[in-house]
Amino acid sequence: MSQEEKIKESLVNKFNYLSDSIKIVRPRRISIEVSLENFEQVFAYLAKELQFGHLCTITGLDEPEKLGFIYHLAADSGILINLRTYAPKNNPVIKTVTSYFPGAEIYERELVDLFGATVTGLPVGNRYPLTDDWPTEEHPLRKDWKPKPAKEGEVDKNA
Amino acid sequence: MHNAPEFKIPIGPQHPALKEPEGFSVALKGEKILGVDIRLGYNHRGIEKAAEERTYIQDIYLLERVCGICSHSHSTCFIQAVEEIAGLAVPSRALYIRTIIGELERIHSHLLWLGVAGHEIGFDTLLMYSWRDREVVMDILASITGNRVNYGMNTIGGVRRDINPEEKQEILNGLKILEERTKYYIEIATQETTIIKRLSGVGVLSREDVLRLDAVGPTARASGVKRDIRADDPYAAYGELSFDVITDDHCDVYGRTVVRVKELMESYKIIRQALEKLPDGPLVVKAPRKIPIGEAISRYEAPRGEDVHYVRSNGTEKPDRVKVRAPTLANVQAVKHMLKDRFLADMPIVIAAIDPCFSCTDRMVHLKEQDCGSDKVINWPSLHTYSIEWHKERGIDFTQLNKKLQERFTR
């Protein structure tokens, strides 16, 4: 049995509801989908018990009827797990993972600025990556957001 | 010292000591740093959004410009994800050529870093030496790819240019000089007292902190964490080549210097093997214009550490989502930690030690003669000669020195 299959088996034994949502995509790549309410226990189990001790980054997705979040967790064996969860678009609230990975702070700020997610428990700090005067209701990586066309030869007086 | 007043100083986003815009708000008590608040985002160009508006082929060139130094890293990382979605079997000759360019890029990046580090500690002789030697690898890259940076070697399904036997010989000749010089730098880094004393105990980051803060690349490896994507999650031709992952236990800027100079030797080893084994065959397989629905994540060991690209396709010729995480972002939290309770004077070298990104310039000069309006193009060799003559006329002549150097290498 390959290492990937062992990881899958141990996850399914621990969390029965994952049996249909774990896929071994290719050697060293596993993809898991989990509901928002079960997210933290699976995340904690991967990070603490299965030694997936490196959070590469968090990818935000506009689905577009909901917001998707993929946590890319790597182990020293080279195996990478893409742990995916969804939040409704009208109330996109997720919990911070900075208690597991303090380095996640900057990735979560990106989700706040670019996707309009609300991350609870995020420490007070500077926004990233948009400017301080960027409107808080505009999130550039949402599919319905389009850059305003600049008028030729005209300077935007409101900017 | 305990009576020293506490105050805050802003450094950046525009500041003479910074090469790129970033904001530091440093809380000081006397000369000691109490804490640092970092504001990033001044270089945010909306590349991820722009990538969704362009075709996959256009995106290669867009993403190659995420960074001026690790341009090949970003384009390779991106196309690896696209090729995985499309299920393309990239010819092994192309994988080897990607590996060779990737390692040449690492050499130029690490030598550049060595010079910057020397400069930040007032050791400008090291800057002059290492940047002169860096020209050897820049010339190799320019002659193989046509560019000093932003090589444009990659395309979906393979590479766009071959390495012919003459170019192979040119690389091997260059490596001989570079290896000789690197041995000298390893000697400097491990024996020169001023370097050891200035860098030891500066910017300390323990092994536990690396693991906790998710630092990557030479920054992690200098704290004894053996993480290298080339070995852990092999891509391109790395799985078929043998090399060592260099680590060090000093956990400070000194350790990061040692790791980088020693990694140069590994790069030479990798390139020699890759040139030796370079398989025959096609350079590219035909890739579809529309990439089928799917997603993939690709990892790449850039000179600064792990680079991550996530790509999702929707069956059209444009990607649905492209996510880029460059290594510097992963090391930002570590920098905050390294600066705490240290002296303000250590700040430049501590920041430089994670090797944050810089930009390179173009090298082709296009002159329009004022009188007749005719075009005159100066190519790289004649520009090089012109600059040497220009300096000679002003009394700066390195001919004798260069001759000595050449004799040493050909001996």
- pLDDT for B242 equals 96
- pLDDT tens digits along B183-196: 999 999 999 999 99
AA letter at A107: Y
Task: Point out the residue among B37, B213, B297 whose CB comes nearest to the CB of A102.
Answer: B213
Separation of CA A4 from chain center: 22
Distance CA B138, CA B310 (A): 30
- pLDDT tens digits along A4-31: 999 999 999 999 999 999 999 999 999 9
Contact A148, A135 (CB under 8 A): no
Q: Which of B147, B344, B104, B306 is nearest to B221 (CA)?
A: B306
Q: Give the DSSP letter of residue B163.
A: -
Do A26 and B84 lie within an 8 Å CB cutoff? yes
- pLDDT for A155 equals 62
Q: Which fold has domain A3-120?
A: Beta Polymerase; domain 2 (3.30.460)
| CB contact B94 to A (< 8 Å) | no
Distance CA B356, CA B26 (A): 18
pLDDT higher than 60, residue B369: no
Total number of residues shown for chain A: 159
Do A128 and B41 lie within an 8 Å CB cutoff? yes
Chain B residues with CB under 8 Å of A72 CB are: 297, 308, 310
Distance CA B103, CA B134 (A): 13
Per residue in B76-107, is it b (16+ CB within 10 Å) or e — as a string? bbbbbbbbbbbebebbbbbbbbbbbbbbbbbb
Domain boundaries, chain B: 6-39, 47-353, 365-410
| CB contact B330 to A (< 8 Å) | yes
Instruction: Per-residue pLDDT tens, chain A, 159 aa: give them.
Output: 899 999 999 999 999 999 999 999 999 999 999 999 999 999 999 999 999 999 999 999 999 899 999 999 999 999 999 999 999 999 999 999 999 999 999 999 999 999 999 999 998 888 889 988 999 889 999 999 988 776 666 665 655
Q: Residues of chain A whose C-beta is under 8 A from some C-beta in B?
A: 25-26, 28-29, 53-57, 59-62, 70, 72, 74, 76-78, 80, 82, 101-107, 114, 125-131, 140-141, 147
Q: What is B334-398 written as a DSSP string?
A: HHHHHHTTSBGGGHHHHHHHT----------EEEE-TTT--EEEE-HHHHHHHHHHHHHHTT---
CB-based contacts of B292: which residues, under 8 Å, 6+ apart?
B85, B86, B87, B313, B315
Do B233 and A141 lie within an 8 Å CB cutoff? no
Taking CA–CA distances from A72, the nearest residue in chain B reads B297
Distance CA A21, CA A34 (A): 7
Domain B47-353 is found in CATH 1.10.645.10: yes
Full-model pTM: 0.90
- pLDDT for B364 equals 47
Q: Where are the beta strands (DSSP E) in chain A?
A: 22-26, 29-33, 54-62, 66-74, 80-88, 93-95, 118-120
Task: Point out the residue among B38, B232, B333 whose CB comes nearest to the CB of A103.
Answer: B333
Taking CA–CA distances from A70, the nearest residue in chain B reads B310
* Residue indicated by tokens 């742990």: A83
Confidence band, pLDDT 50/70/90 cuts, at residue B23: confident
- For chain B, the first-to-last Cα distance in angstroms comes to 57
Packing angle, helices B165-191 and B92-120, rounded to 10: 30
- pLDDT for B362 equals 36
Do A78 and B211 lie within an 8 Å CB cutoff? no
Chain A residues with CB under 8 Å of B332 CB are: 106
Domain boundaries, chain A: 3-120
Do A61 and B312 lie within an 8 Å CB cutoff? yes
- pLDDT tens digits along B193-249: 999 999 999 999 999 999 999 999 999 999 999 999 999 999 999 999 999 999 999
Best of A59, A81, A82 to mutate (most B CBs within 10 Å, chain B): A59
- pLDDT for B359 equals 35
